[in-house]
Amino acid sequence: MSDFLLLDGTLLQAVDPMLLRASSFGHFTSMQVRAGHVDGLDLHFDRLDRSTREVFDQPLPEPRIRAELRAALDHARSGDLSIRVNVFATDQLHLLTRVGPPVPPATGPVRLRTYQHERAVPHLKHTGTFDLTYYDRKAKADGYDDALFHTPTGHISEASTWNICFARGPHLFFPSAPILKGIRQQTLQRALPTYTTEPIHLTDLTTYDAAYLTNSIDAALPIASINEVTYQPHAESAHTIAKAYASQPPQAV
């Protein structure tokens, strides 16, 4: 007997059951494409290759990934897209590429609520994302915009689908707790002349001038508050971040 799928008791003809493996055991990367270019594209290639070597014990060469991305642009007939590349395996390695319209950045500062939580295998961008959605929904139900995680000892790590950084004057600080190192965070860090990675405790939040979230959609989304700690717009650190990103032009697919 071969595999099959039922949806509400009805046999599905058009979905290959092996695609479910892409959401149950695998890893991925997500990117925004603008005019056929991607911020930190080389870092996406590196992430997919390193994660594939760790999870599936084999490499994922850049030419194969690039061919998938170019095929996505060709099928979409557009250079402005959102792309998610899932990597999973059966008897061979598969790439499942989801293509959609571009996602605009957020429009204003966000309010975060902290929760004690650490993702499983946090250094991998794996497909186990139930907990991220759970805490994002919980934060919204509690009256906030998103969730920010901390360790059992109270050290800040990352937000639901974001990295976080803090500023004192023009200098940026990144948490040293276990996190997924996002592509935008890596792009920012390699452009900064100097930055600090250190333990950032909940009790330290009032000592910073500003805080920002970064991910593939938002390069530097200002944070309005974390719990009861509030932050105001901060031109000095915003200039540092803008200057760093300007020195890292998007790369052609």
Q: What is the pLDDT of residues 110-142, one digit of tens each?
A: 999 999 999 999 999 999 999 999 999 999 999
Concatenate the DSSP letters of all residues of 157-226 into one string.
EEESS-EEEEEETTEEEEE-SS----HHHHHHHHHSS--EEE--BGGGGGG-SEEEEE-SS-SSEEEEEE
> Could you tell me what percent of the chain has a pLDDT over 90?
87
Domain 110-252 belongs in CATH node 3.20.10.10: yes
Q: Which of 92-96, 213-217, 222-226 has the lowest mean pLDDT?
A: 92-96
The CATH code of the domain at 16-100 is: 3.30.470.10
> Looking at the chain, which residues constitute the CATH 3.20.10.10 domain(s)?
110-252
| pLDDT band at residue 18 under the 50/70/90 scheme | confident
Between the CA atoms of 179, 219, 50 and 176, what dihedral angle is there, to the nearest 10 degrees? -30
Residue 3 has pLDDT above 70, yes or no: no
Q: What's the mean pLDDT in 158-186?
A: 98
Residue 194 has pLDDT above 90, yes or no: yes
**CA 41 and chain centroid, separation:** 13
3-class SS at 66? helix
> Looking at the chain, which residues constitute the CATH 3.30.470.10 domain(s)?
16-100
Q: Report in angstroms the alpha-carbon separations of 149 from 5, 76, 135, 164.
A: 36, 36, 9, 10
**CA 122 and chain centroid, separation:** 12
pLDDT value of position 20 = 72
Residues 225, 108: contact at Cβ < 8 Å? no
CA angle 207, 131, 152 (to 5 degrees): 45
Which parts of 55-154 are beta strand (E)?
81-89, 93-100, 110-116, 146-150
Determine the Cα–Cα distance for residues 47 and 211; give it in Å rounded to an integer.
Answer: 26
Q: What is the pLDDT of residues 62-117, one digit of tens each?
A: 999 999 999 999 999 999 999 999 999 988 899 989 899 999 999 889 999 999 99
For residue 180, what are the contacts with CB-CB under 8 A and spacing of at least 6? Answer: 119, 122, 123, 124, 125, 158, 163
